[in-house]
Amino acid sequence: KNNFNILKYKAGDVFHLQDSMRIYFLLPDNDITKDASKLSNIFNYGDYAFILQYKNVKVLYLGILEAETVNYLSNAYSDFLNCDLVRAEFQESMNLSTFEFIKECKPLHAVITFGRKNKFSDLSDTVISRLKLSDIETHRTDISGAVIFESDGYSIEEVKWK
C-alpha cells in the first residue's frame, strides 16, 4: 500500500545530506558481524554508531554499545571520533565507560539519554564523574527532558526551549 524506500547503511558508508552535511556510518560493521569467529559476542543485533558532520561540527551518536564494542570503535576510528557533542549511554558498562574513549572523542558536550523511573538501570555515577573530570558539559534528559542543540557549522550550543 505505502511505498517506502528503505536504505541500509553499514560501516564505511557516507550519506550526503547537503554539500556541507554528511553522516558517516561506523557500525554495523558487516565484515565483523558476518564472521562469527571474529564476533566474540561484542556486537548486539542492531548496534549502530554514526557521526553527523555539518561543516566543522561533529556529533557522535552511539547506540547502546557494550564496552568491547566501544574499544573496537576506538581501534578502528581513533582520531576520527573527535567530536563536539556525543550522545552518551547511562550505564557504566556502556559507551562512555572509559577515560580512554572520552579522550579519544574529546567532546565539548555529552547528552545522556535517560528516562525518569528507568526500569533497566540507574544512571551511572561513574559515567557522570568521568564526564565531569574531563570538563565535558553534561546534559541529561532525565532532568531537562528533551535536549536541543543548534549549530552554524562552526560552533554548537544548547537551545533553551522551556
Supply the pLDDT for residue 28. 82
| CA gap 99, 72 in Å, rounded | 15
Helices and strands, number each (H, E), in the chain: 6, 9
Q: What is the pLDDT of residue 15?
A: 93
106-125 residue pLDDT tens: 999 999 887 666 665 566 67
Can you say whether the dihedral through the CA atoms of 27, 57, 115, 135 is positive or negative? positive
Cβ proximity of 127 and 96 under 8 Å:
yes
Q: What is the pLDDT along the chain (162 residues), one digit of tens a residue?
A: 677 777 778 899 999 998 899 999 998 876 655 554 454 455 555 578 999 999 999 999 988 777 778 888 888 999 999 999 998 765 544 556 577 888 889 999 999 887 666 665 566 677 788 888 899 999 988 888 889 999 999 999 999 988
Distance CA 27, CA 11 (A): 5
* Sequence-ordered list of residues with C-beta below 8 angstroms from that of 55, at least 6 positions apart, any chain: 20, 21, 152, 153, 154
pLDDT at position 92 is 47
